[in-house]
Structure 1
């Protein structure tokens, strides 16, 4: 039996899916030593998640892999909506104010492959055929047992362990955390990759949704050509668990679209699967030195395609907090804020996805009533924009939670509130010479998000209010904190961007993950000191 020591690693991540890999990359970028293990013998290549929405893309971009993923995906620009063979309208994408406004279609196994490559570049490789068989957490460490593919048993320890090992993962079970919820009855998802022969628009970047009684069919373009077909349908035979045949998938598509002569050529390798789901959220996401993320923490039917996205956002939320706590820059209460924020987000998704009638199969009467409203809704730009923003996850927030302090007063009517994602406005950065009072220079206009960094906090304020004395006081307040903070005076490009950024007299402290931690009047620097002091261990 081999024995590992906690001197070898700071965090053990269990599970090498998209969430575990995102977490490991975030931790490595912050300098922590990471071990990532997975019981699978090798990477899987099944038809799983396909879409990365805008906020998850922003998170991955902040970890340095956004452009890499973009090059291997396709960005849909429009989705046509049909009621069987009747055209209802078109939904366009890209309304969000973000460098990643459009969704990115990319196969989950490609995401994992690219993330593994980035993690390897950072010095950590996935250990396959390494199954966690037991786990105990103590006040200062986690002890766990690994069974390797060659039969070797290893006893190891690490200061922290994070379960990203799926809905049936052992970590949650050993931590004694209930997985609350229930199985979704009457719903199955049949999906596969194929190239259809049909009369529809075949331009790259165009998807389709077909609505019919008892089923809905989503058709999304794949980067290499062809489409991913998702069929959400009723479940007439719950005992049927085998993967669908090509003929079953073809018949489902032909019947839903009313194209009886449809021909379907499957891709190589053949990727078809059938899934049923439950709506479940862990009662808590932390037990001492053990934490949960991804499907180990929350899972629901893939309605809306947000499961992996929410998991990635959770990993992005957790990595910087875990690093700050491990380094002694913040108290363990910061980890509890991850649990609170992420669990709250998951519960909201479970609730909202039950009313996504664009994808959930409806009975005939409900189908007729819903499809009658779709043409009018899609004709409105306001509806298009609201729906696109809702899908993007950019409006998801952590308002009212422990690390979000909003002190701008009752009449704050513009700009972000504490807990919101900071808007990606276009700004110019004032030259450093201003800080010493030697001159004034306005730099090029850039997106605000390009000035943020996952390795630090960013204190954003208006350049016209950043007199040398104010800057000196702000920097002195930040210097007392154990967490790194960059003071960033900016000038919005125009009045519209200025309104999105908020009141000129406010300061905005942005967390490493791009959410606003504090909004307060610039004149009340004591609030900034108090906020940073509250993070301290």
Structure 2
């Protein structure tokens, strides 16, 4: 018999997020990492809103927020002049602004939460071999001094980075290529410069063949992050503080700039490739984080995409392990997460705010920035993209659109979309409107019915007698499993909130990770029955999505 339910290989942010999620779902988890102790390198810096929502569902977002600083505005500069400012927080979420917090602090806080849940990270433990069988995964753990342990788990998940041993032993190709002509020079430092230090305020400086991002650190000082061309690929070591200072001074046109190192000091030079594993699951072996996908840190979303993948994977793995769902549910993790990674790689290749441009391209782009930033619609769209709140799984086999998608405002989320965090009332005496996300739970599906309240486009409020009969019908169907489903009746707080949630004559089945699985007319419980049947361990084939772009 397997020794534990799941072995997570790698104690970075993704592995720790996955382990916490699995523990909260009641699985026995083992976490091993080849490092001798928790890391102290700065590395990733930003937690974007959608990843923060995922961490909130796991009970750790508040802890991270207390140790970070929200980024509210970023000023754009070029040629020594101010082009405009980009503001954040345009969209409805309890975490509407990005959070600046260094990766080593994230890992420290997540390790503490995992320990509170009863699992300690096993440091100095390197997985050297992996074999998967129909009923278990076998792996070998190397120890200091040359000792080795043979162990088993029902499942093994490689969160062990771009050089993943798990991926290599499973024989999964890591497809892609190196990104040429681009290097990232970065470091943490205190700056004596005319822009001061304002918590929540960052800067981007644009120049030919380079782009410099500067964000305040929670503990003081700044992270200087420069994308630049690669005139000398033989330079592989970290930059000196002098090299970083000259690069920042030249890009920002600050000849008298002085930088002093933070404590502890951190300087880094990196080059990257864009790669995605050919598959994220082989039997009882799975991949997540950088072991599954990696790209140049344009946009700063690599850690966030990995965390969202862990959030996607844990509830599916728990459902399959407990026999509630067919193993094909894990294949939807593979397709959804790989599609998400591929979209990021494609989009980040067009991120001209951060990618270094040649002189002519820089001149043209800099001329358009003030015009774009002056448009409210542009600010909203850019914030929507950066926040990841609009990321969806519409093409997934788990996304069934059985009601017309409709056009314009008021159609509500489609199958595969993130469920909006609208203000709703539950009808309990003495309670006011609450955020919908506080009512969703990670350990169960939620069948959402809109009861009473203001109507949206395409129809008014559902009469109470009709709503009650529908509620009774879906309660009866949900009680027969196979996965746990709770029925939640809510009333939108006002007409604006109703437009976020969609037509009152529809039901929406929300996945544990907050994405909509099924949209169907409220009276057609046969659609709900078919969806739940397809989830279960019976061999009924998954329905393809009918949601068109």
By the TM > 0.5 criterion, same fold?
yes
Q: Structure 2: give runs of 5+ residues left out of the alignment.
A: 453-461, 538-549
Q: Which residue of 2 aligns with 1:330?
A: 325
Q: Which residue of 2 aligns with 1:264?
A: 259
Matched, 1:155 2:150: yes
Residue 267 of structure 1 aligns to a residue whose secondary structure is strand
Summarize deviations over 1:202-227 as a string: whole Å, max 9, x none. Answer: 22111000000111100011111111
Number of equivalenced pairs: 523
CA contact under 8 A between 2:313 and 2:333: conserved in structure 1? yes
**Structure 1 residues 495 and 15: alpha-carbon distance in aligned structure 2, compared to 1, 3 A threshold:** same
Matched, 1:380 2:353: no
Residue 444 of structure 1 aligns to a residue whose secondary structure is coil
Cα separation, 1, equivalents of 2:292 and 2:79 = 37
Shift of 1:410: 5.3
Q: Which residue of 1 aligns with 2:504?
A: 504
Summarize deviations over 1:424-467 as a string: whole Å, max 9, x none. Answer: 00000023xxxxxxxxx473100000000101111111123464
CA contact under 8 A between 1:82 and 1:210: conserved in structure 2? yes
**Structure 1 residues 348 and 410: alpha-carbon distance in aligned structure 2, compared to 1, 3 A threshold:** closer
1:33-72 equivalences under 5 Å are: 33-72=28-67
Cα separation, 2, equivalents of 1:415 and 1:468 = 22
Shift of 1:25: 0.3
Summarize deviations over 1:92-125 as a string: whole Å, max 9, x none. Answer: 0110111100000000000000000000000001
Residue 342 of structure 1 aligns to a residue whose secondary structure is helix
Shift of 1:484: 1.1
Q: Which residue of 1 aligns with 2:422?
A: 425
Residue 159 of structure 1 aligns to a residue whose secondary structure is strand
Cα separation, 1, equivalents of 2:126 and 2:61 = 30
Cα separation, 1, equivalents of 2:372 and 2:258 = 32
**Structure 1 residues 362 and 497: alpha-carbon distance in aligned structure 2, compared to 1, 3 A threshold:** same
Question: TM-score scaled by structure 1?
Answer: 0.96
Matched, 1:390 2:385: yes
Shift of 1:43: 1.4
Q: Which residue of 2 aligns with 1:174?
A: 169
1:17-166 equivalences under 5 Å are: 17-166=12-161
| Runs of 4+ that moved beyond 2 A | 409-413, 464-470
CA contact under 8 A between 2:217 and 2:223: conserved in structure 1? yes
Q: Which residue of 1 aligns with 2:531?
A: 531
CA contact under 8 A between 2:125 and 2:142: conserved in structure 1? yes
Summarize deviations over 1:498-536 as a string: whole Å, max 9, x none. Answer: 011000000011000000000100010111111111100
Matched, 1:306 2:301: yes
Cα separation, 2, equivalents of 1:396 and 1:410 = 17
CA contact under 8 A between 1:190 and 1:249: conserved in structure 2? yes
**Structure 1 residues 196 and 251: alpha-carbon distance in aligned structure 2, compared to 1, 3 A threshold:** same
Summarize deviations over 1:213-250 as a string: whole Å, max 9, x none. Answer: 11110001111111100010111111111111111111
Q: Which residue of 2 aligns with 1:194?
A: 189
Q: Which residue of 2 aligns with 1:514?
A: 514
Decide which moves more: 160-169 or 236-245: 236-245
Q: Which residue of 2 aligns with 1:491?
A: 491
Matched, 1:453 2:448: no
Residue 268 of structure 1 aligns to a residue whose secondary structure is strand
Summarize deviations over 1:363-415 as a string: whole Å, max 9, x none. Answer: 11111011110000001111001000100000010002100101112546510
Cα separation, 1, equivalents of 2:111 and 2:79 = 41
Cα separation, 1, equivalents of 2:511 and 2:432 = 24
CA contact under 8 A between 1:47 and 1:273: conserved in structure 2? no
374, 396, 403: which one pairs with 2:398?
A: 403
CA contact under 8 A between 2:198 and 2:216: conserved in structure 1? no
Residue 260 of structure 1 aligns to a residue whose secondary structure is coil
Cα separation, 1, equivalents of 2:215 and 2:339 = 29
Cα separation, 2, equivalents of 1:493 and 1:61 = 23
CA contact under 8 A between 1:430 and 1:463: conserved in structure 2? no
Cα separation, 2, equivalents of 1:272 and 1:45 = 13
Shift of 1:201: 4.3
397, 407, 415: which one pairs with 2:412?
A: 415
Matched, 1:12 2:7: yes
Cα separation, 2, equivalents of 1:203 and 1:42 = 34
Q: Which residue of 1 aligns with 2:226?
A: 231
Q: Which residue of 1 aligns with 2:541?
A: none
Shift of 1:161: 0.3
Shift of 1:76: 1.1
Cα separation, 2, equivalents of 1:442 and 1:46 = 49
CA contact under 8 A between 1:25 and 1:119: conserved in structure 2? yes
Cα separation, 2, equivalents of 1:109 and 1:525 = 48
**Structure 1 residues 442 and 484: alpha-carbon distance in aligned structure 2, compared to 1, 3 A threshold:** farther
